[in-house]
Structure 1
Amino acid sequence: MDHSPLTALSPLDGRYASKVASLRPLLSEYGLMHRRVQVEVEWFIALSDAGFAEFKPLSEAARARLRALVQNFSAADAQAIKDIEKTTNHDVKAVEYWIKSRFEGDAELERAGEFVHFACTSEDINNTSHALMLKSAREQVLLPTLDKILAKLTAMAHELADLPMLSRTHGQTASPTTVGKEIANVVARLAAARERIAGVALLAKMNGAVGNYNAHLAAYPGFDWEAFSRRVVEQQLGLSFNPYTIQIEPHDYMAELFDAVTRANTILVDWSRDVWGYISLGYFKQRTKAGEIGSSTMPHKVNPIDFENAEGNFGLASALLTHLSQKLPISRWQRDLTDSTVLRNMGVALGYALLGHDSLLRGLDKLEVNREALAADLDAAWEVLAEPIQTVMRRYALPNPYERLKELTRGKAITREAIREFIQTLELPAEEKQRLLAMTPGSYTGQAVALAQRIGR
């Protein structure tokens, strides 16, 4: 079979290919090759400025030509590297040879050709490339998408700040809240998770085969290679330098980053399930789209499929991210190769997270509040006023307040009239009694409105 979206083994490259397209140039094999070229070029340019007699500073024209290899890197360039790999059977060496092949006809670059990949182990190139891939994916895709979700939820929290809603704890009627306040709870959690994702320092090393600059010092024993490597990592590549490693950068920061994304996924699974439940209760309706079908046999159905898809994809993402975070920091002795094949699945793991974001946003855009259903639910739950009544009774030291309200309300359908009759029997100050008589399930929302209105401001 020819390869196509219909024959793709992964749905990320098949059914859902268009929805995760923004990650493809960043976390694919092409993306890895692109970053490898960038690292090799920046290391090479930095070596020319190191003051070595054998490698004079490159001209501006040579620097521009080298950086153009990165800026103009194409699918054809990636394929050329892949073709070289068929001979070398080594992906990083293929990048080195490809770069050298681009020096042909330029005497200045050809003379310095052996300083490409100078003193480097493959992992010096790979670990920095992976960090650059994650940096671009985080900055260009993941954080902007989370920000879209946060903006949408924040707007909903403000718009629905004063719309009362019956709470359900343990699935049973409980003290009322507002729709906006419940959304504000999600905003607060997700904003904190977003900052954890953004705050993870992306580490990299360029210190040789076992982290000790062995080959570097063999060639130039008097040179401060650690300071040089730090400058390349931090100033030229924009990453954070890790001075203590084995052959590989130990990937602890990756575990921290993937765990942070998993935490955001968990929050959004929780919210997806809650919205699913609210739709089931009738609190939300879903706008329909002409031509769409909810069920192959039940024409009336408008299923909450976006929230179900979001939940499923966040689960897949978190399962993969959890494996990555648990496996990657473990390497036998100074290195084994188990991390290499696992790292190639970063795009898969983050792709499912992005797919979850896409589904959730689609679902949120379809929601319409059903004010009538919310009001009817509240009006059928006057028993929730047992809490404020018994609390006021406690304030004024009336006997057995909790027990009396329990006897009145527990397991019973309570009407407005029954609540008012009970209040009239209480020996309370007149103003307190009037305050309780004026209270309804819809007005008993505490500080919910203010909490919802201030979120994100």
Structure 2
Amino acid sequence: MPLPAARTSLADLSPTIALGALDGRYRSAVAPLLDHLSEAALNRARLHVEVEWLLHLTTTAVVPGADTLSEQEAQELRAVVTDFDAAAIEELRQIEAETVHDVKAIEYYLRRRLSEVVGPQRAGTLGELVHFACTSEDVNNTSYALMVQGAVEQVWLPRARALVDQLSTMAHELAEVPLLAHTHGQPATPTTMGKELAVLAARLRRQLDRVGRASYLGKLNGATGTYGAHVVALPDVDWQDVSRTFVEQLGLTWNPLTTQIESHDWQAELYADVARFNRVLHNLATDVWTYISMGYFAQVRGQGTVGSSTMPHKVNPIRFENAEANLEVSNALLDVLASTLVTSRLQRDLTDSSMQRNIGTAFGHSLLALDNVSRGLAGLDAVPEAMAADLDANWEVLGEPVQSVMRALAARGVEGMSNPYERLKDLTRGRRIGRAELVDFVRGLGLPAAEEERLVALTPATYTGLAASLVAHLDD
């Protein structure tokens, strides 16, 4: 039968009931992002920009004859940002309900606080410099740049770097553990588990280096990027210098050429790099999941955990499966952000405003995946015996080194070494061979004694080339 009609609407039970998983089931894992990419964080960042713009105008005497703030008053005004709390959030909500404009609500809220700091009389004149010559996008673009910068540099990058360090440590620990490779899903030239993990760690680290070099751009130049209102109000001011110094004092890179909006190209670049990191991490999750299924890793069951609801023997690789799903959601959002934000009709449209409200969700799913992969890796024990058993069951992979030695000898003019590839193909293709068959074949080739003994001593487990030493490149 269909789901029965509910007697009570869940929406009426509690305002904390979440529609999305990040604000519900997974809130604790993504909570650090709330300080940077939530709606409240956006309003706090807007207040920060508005306060600093007011102080910039007054302390640099941009407006001749305008009142200035004392050092103590400036500190009290900055405290409006540092002390931003639940009461501030509620007051802003009420103001916005009247203005039906989020940035205008910030302006009115700051005027109230300014009046408390300097008194109603001085606030009457100083208040005219709140949001002076600004379009909303002057405040929004710098706010988002500061928010994303904080989220990346203070939350996402440290978590991502910690995960790569964790993976690198595993690579070093397993550098010499031989592993049967599987190219195209088929038994192939052996490697080591550590070397394969090192490949993934190096790929991830390269993307983190790109993210770490990201530029966060900002602009403050008016309704169409021309400083029109600025120049008419105060024609003798070097407005480009005022704008540049203000944006740089915020810790951002100044963009001198924009429409009404900062073009968001830096965001598209950053999100593409984060998405690429996510995709490599997805590759790690699927590879480790596969190694678990092969028995190369055993999962360490935590106290009280349940692997399967019906099969007591199972410990499901849920951390890696959860990570896969969250990385896919994150990338879907990052991709649409990157592709959409670079376009704005003529001098401005509002699609970017709605789109940017999903930045926190995109980073939230990535952060959740980082948490799951880290916890998943921490719960693994390598099983060298399982890897050794697969190696010992696939002696045919030594056909490659035998024919390579024969080629080298043939190139030096040694007789009887012709057609090595074809001869090894006849021996190995489509069937399993063991050590005895391989040794008999090698003994019958007429190889020089040294090469013969070297090949006879070779095993799948020792045929790993330089794999173990390659892991050291992680320390370059």
Normalised by the size of structure 2, how large is the TM-score?
A: 0.94
Q: Work out whether 1:20 is the aligned partner of 2:30.
A: yes
> For residue 450 of structure 2, what is the amino acid of its counterpart?
E
Does residue 191 of the first structure (1) align with residue 212 of the second (2)? no
Displacement of 1:53 in angstroms is 1.7
Partner of 1:293: 306
Between the aligned partners of 2:15 and 2:163, the Cα distance in structure 1 is 31
Q: Displacement of 1:72 after TM fit? A: 1.5
Give the SS at the match of 1:173: strand
Residue 330 of structure 1: SS of its match in structure 2? coil
Count of residues in correspondence between the two structures: 455
The residue number in structure 2 matching 1:210 is 224
Quote the offset at 1:335 in angstroms: 0.6
- Asked if 2 retains the 8 angstrom alpha-carbon contact of 1:254 and 1:325, the reply is yes
- State the match for 1:176 in structure 2: 190
Matches within 5 A, 1:207-356: 207-234=221-248, 236-356=249-369
Aligned to 1:450: 469
The one-letter amino acid paired with 1:152 is Q
Aligned to 2:13, the other structure's residue is in SS state: coil
Name the CA distance, whole Å, in 1 between partners of 2:54 and 2:448.
Answer: 84
| Aligned residue in 1 for 2:42 | 32
Of 55-64 and 207-216, more deviation after overlay is shown by 55-64
Residue 423 of structure 2 is aligned to residue 404 of structure 1: yes
Amino acid paired to 2:159: T
1:157/1:453 contact within 8 Å kept: no
Residue 257 of structure 2 aligns to which amino acid in structure 1?
Answer: Y
Matched, 1:414 2:433: yes
Q: Which amino acid aligns with 1:412?
A: R
Corresponding position of 2:449: 430
Instruction: State the Cα distance separating 1:104 from its structure 2 match.
Output: 2.1
1:86-125 equivalences in 2 (<5 Å): 86-105=97-116, 106-107=118-119, 108-125=122-139
Tell me the distance in 2 between the aligned counterparts of 1:220 and 1:2: 55
Separation in structure 1 between the aligned mates of residue 93 and residue 168 of structure 2, nearest angstrom: 46
| Deviation readout 1:366-410 (Å, 9 max, x if unpaired) | 011011101101111111110000000000111100000000000
Deviation of 1:438 (Å): 1.1
CA distance in 2, matches of 1:401, 1:227: 74
Q: CA deviation at 1:433?
A: 1.2
1:86-165 counterparts in 2 under 5 A? Answer: 86-105=97-116, 106-107=118-119, 108-165=122-179
CA contact (8 A) 1:161 1:180 kept: yes
Distance 2:14 2:359 in 1: 22
User: Using a 3 Å threshold, how does the CA distance of structure 1 residues 150 and 427 change in structure 2: closer, same or farther?
Assistant: same
Q: Which runs of 5+ in 2 are unaligned?
A: 1-11, 411-416
The two structures, once aligned, show a CA RMSD in angstroms of 1.2
CA distance in 1, matches of 2:286, 2:182: 14
CA drift at 1:4: 5.5
Is residue 154–residue 456 contact of structure 1 (8 Å, CA) maintained in 2? Answer: no
Q: CA deviation at 1:452?
A: 1.1
- State the TM-score, normalizing by the size of structure 1: 0.98
Deviation at residue 109 of structure 1 after TM alignment: 4.7
**Contact 1:47–1:55 (8 Å) recurs in 2:** no
Gaps of 5+ in 1: none
Identical aligned pairs, as a percentage?
A: 51
- Give, in angstroms, the shift of residue 70 of structure 1: 1.5
- Verify the 8 A CA contact 1:176 1:442 in the aligned structure 2: yes
